[in-house]
Structure 1
Amino acid sequence: MAKSLFPSYVRPGILRPGLLLLALLSLHTLQAQELRVNVTVNSNQVSGTNKKIFTTLQNSIKEFLNGRRWSADVYAPAERIECNMLLNLTGDVGDNVYKATLTIQATRPVYNAGYMSSLLNMQDNNLVFRYVEFQPLEFSDNRVVGNDPLSSNLTAVLAYYAYIILGLDADSFAPRGGDPFFKKALNIVSNAPDGKDITGWKPFEGNRNRYWLQDNLLNVKFSRFHDVMYQYHRQGMDVMYDDMTKGRGAIMNCLNMLYAVYQDIPNSMLMSVFFTSKSEELQKIFSKSPPQEKSRAVQLLAQMDVTNASKYQQMK
Structure 2
Amino acid sequence: MLCAAPFCGKAQELNARITVNGDKIATANKQIFTTLQNSLTEFVNNRKWTDATFAVNEKIDCTMTIIVNELDETNFKSEIQIQARRPVYNSSYTTTLLNFRDQQLDFEYTEGEPLDYNSNTLTSNLTATIVFYVYVILGLDFDSFAPKGGTTYIQQAQQIVNMAQSEMSWTGWKAFDSNQNRHAVATALQDNASDAFREMWYTYHRKGLDEMAANPDRGRTTIIGALPALQEVKKARPTSVLLQMFADAKLDEIIAIYSKATTQERQEGYKMLFEIYPAQSTRLEELQKPVR
Paired residue for 2:181, among 194, 201, 209? 209
Q: CA RMSD, aligned part only?
A: 1.6
Paired residue for 2:132, among 154, 157, 160? 160
Deviation at 1:88, TM superposition (A): 0.6
- Which residue of structure 2 aligns with residue 50 of structure 1? 29
Question: How many aligned residue pairs are there?
Answer: 288
Q: Is the 8 A contact 1:175 1:230 kept in 2?
A: yes
The answer to whether 1:135 aligns with 2:107 is no
Q: Is the 8 A contact 1:11 1:75 kept in 2?
A: no
Q: Is the 8 A contact 1:153 1:193 kept in 2?
A: no
Q: Is the 8 A contact 1:302 1:313 kept in 2?
A: no
Deviation at 1:306, TM superposition (A): 2.5
Deviation at 1:275, TM superposition (A): 1.1
Paired residue for 1:97, among 63, 75, 98? 75
- Which residue of structure 1 aligns with residue 236 of structure 2? 264
Q: Is the 8 A contact 1:199 1:205 kept in 2?
A: no
- Which residue of structure 2 aligns with residue 149 of structure 1? none
Deviation at 1:269, TM superposition (A): 0.6
Distance 1:11 1:126 in 2: 40
SS of 1:100's partner is strand
Distance 1:129 1:247 in 2: 44
Unaligned runs of at least 5 residues, structure 2: none
SS of 2:52's partner is coil
Distance 1:306 1:10 in 2: 39
Distance 1:10 1:267 in 2: 37
Deviation at 1:172, TM superposition (A): 0.2
Deviations 1:266-289 (A, max 9, x none): 221111111110011011000231
Q: Is the 8 A contact 2:19 2:64 kept in 1?
A: yes
Deviations 1:38-74 (A, max 9, x none): 1111100111240111111000000011011111111
The answer to whether 1:300 aligns with 2:279 is no
Deviations 1:192-235 (A, max 9, x none): 17555421101121111000100010112210111011100011
- Which residue of structure 2 aligns with residue 18 of structure 1? none
Residue 217 to residue 98, structure 1, CA distance change in 2 (3 Å): same
1:212-231 mapped onto 2 (5 Å cutoff): 212-231=184-203
- Which residue of structure 2 aligns with residue 19 of structure 1? none
The answer to whether 1:39 aligns with 2:18 is yes
Distance 2:92 2:230 in 1: 27
Q: Is the 8 A contact 2:165 2:174 kept in 1?
A: no
- Which residue of structure 2 aligns with residue 63 of structure 1? 42
Q: Is the 8 A contact 1:228 1:254 kept in 2?
A: yes
SS of 2:141's partner is helix
SS of 1:47's partner is coil
TM-score of the two chains, using structure 2 as the length reference: 0.94
Q: Is the 8 A contact 2:179 2:239 kept in 1?
A: no
Q: Is the 8 A contact 2:18 2:64 kept in 1?
A: yes
Residue 193 to residue 97, structure 1, CA distance change in 2 (3 Å): farther
Q: Is the 8 A contact 2:255 2:286 kept in 1?
A: no
Distance 2:54 2:267 in 1: 41
Worse-matched range after superposition: 224-233 or 248-257:
248-257
- Matched to 1:264, the amino acid is A
Paired residue for 1:107, among 69, 81, 85? 85
1:276-291 mapped onto 2 (5 Å cutoff): 276-291=248-263
SS of 1:46's partner is coil
Distance 2:43 2:57 in 1: 20
Unaligned runs of at least 5 residues, structure 1: 1-5, 16-22, 147-151
The answer to whether 1:86 aligns with 2:58 is no
The answer to whether 1:233 aligns with 2:212 is no
TM-score of the two chains, using structure 1 as the length reference: 0.87
- Matched to 1:79, the amino acid is E
Residue 55 to residue 194, structure 1, CA distance change in 2 (3 Å): farther
Distance 1:290 1:169 in 2: 30
Distance 1:98 1:111 in 2: 41
Distance 2:225 2:167 in 1: 45
Deviation at 1:314, TM superposition (A): 2.8
Percentage of identical aligned residues: 36
Distance 2:42 2:16 in 1: 9
